[in-house]
Amino acid sequence: MSQLTSFLLVLSLCAFAPLCFSSRTKGGYLYPQFYDHSCPKAQEIVRSVLAKAVAKEARMAASILRLHFHDCFDQGCDASLLLDSSGTIVSEKRSNPNRNSARGFEVLDEIKSALEKECPHTVSCADLLAIAARDSTVLRGGPSWEVLLGRRDSRSASLSGSNNNIPAPNNTFQTILTKFKRQGLLKTRCPRSGGDQNLFFLDYVSPTKFDNYYYKNILASKGLLNSDQVLLTKNEGSRELVKQYAENNQLFFEQFPKSMVKMGNISPLTGSRGEIRKNCRRVNS
């Protein structure tokens, strides 16, 4: 998988688990057709605004995908990461994994503004981010998938959760695995993420394209970070996956969407829980 600077990697989150067209959560369901009647142009709007941003800066696709990852691993996929500090809220943007590295918030603001004009108080920021993560992958040549929708937005943020739950570039294999198990991703292989202000490409071969060169680099012992190379050296299961993905880009493209759908199902707010924010940076007054 080719990466832009600090491209998020989530590989094989229960990749071999069966998938359904809806996902039962506490309080309601997530399903692809959630906005078909209330805001039929929602996904088209997300894709259109995002495409312009990525055309202007290819690196933005990786940044948006990384935001979805960092949001889901703290409190679940509830757009808590998008909240600025205000009142009793201390923003997750200030955590060690996000400070001076999380970026792309202005693009999400633009998407949200367009959605509010088309369908006021309808599309959640959490769903907006999930759709944008999928479209970011597609725009850089990666695979597509049906995004399950119906999430609502959190009214709170967790700085401590962000610090403790998001895998770090220097984590050991066991620490990374433990952090995935906390999210109920029991069949997980390794994730990794880095800082967006790094000056290094995590894949130096095709840094602006979504492909499997990330794994080819690891197989050649050219992984940039410790959390990259341990996939090959510290666990037989992950070593076998690295080899498979390095040799078979199609297999990687088949498994990655399953991983993203599984991650997008981490503790979403549904039903009457949470809210639909008018502005992704602050809770409704």
Q: How far is CA 127 from the centre of its chain?
A: 12
- Residue 94 vs residues 66, 181, 203: alpha-carbon distances, Å: 16, 25, 27
- Paired with 25 in beta bridges are 28
The answer to whether 1 and 214 have CB atoms below 8 angstroms apart is: yes
Kind and range of the H or E run holding 257: helix 249-264
80 known member of a binding site: yes
The answer to whether 232 and 221 have CB atoms below 8 angstroms apart is: yes
- Per-residue DSSP letter, 101: T
153 known member of a binding site: no
84 known member of a binding site: no
36 known member of a binding site: no
Per the document, the length of the chain is 285
Burial class of residue 29 (count of CB atoms within 10 Å of its CB; 0-12, 13-18, 19+): middle
**Torsions phi, psi for 279 (to 5 deg):** -130, 125
Structure tokens at 158: 């967790």
Residue that is written with structure tokens 């229960």 in the block: 14
71 known member of a binding site: yes
Please state, in angstroms and rounded to a whole number, the distance separating the CA atoms of residues 252 and 39.
33
**Torsions phi, psi for 91 (to 5 deg):** -65, 140
78 known member of a binding site: yes
Please state, in angstroms and rounded to a whole number, the distance separating the CA atoms of residues 122 and 211.
34
Please state, in angstroms and rounded to a whole number, the distance separating the CA atoms of residues 163 and 159.
6
Active site residues: 70
The answer to whether 194 and 207 have CB atoms below 8 angstroms apart is: no
Binding site, annotated residues for substrate = 167
Binding site, annotated residues = 71, 76, 78, 80, 92, 167, 203, 211
Binding site, annotated residues for Ca(2+) = 71, 76, 78, 80, 92, 203, 211
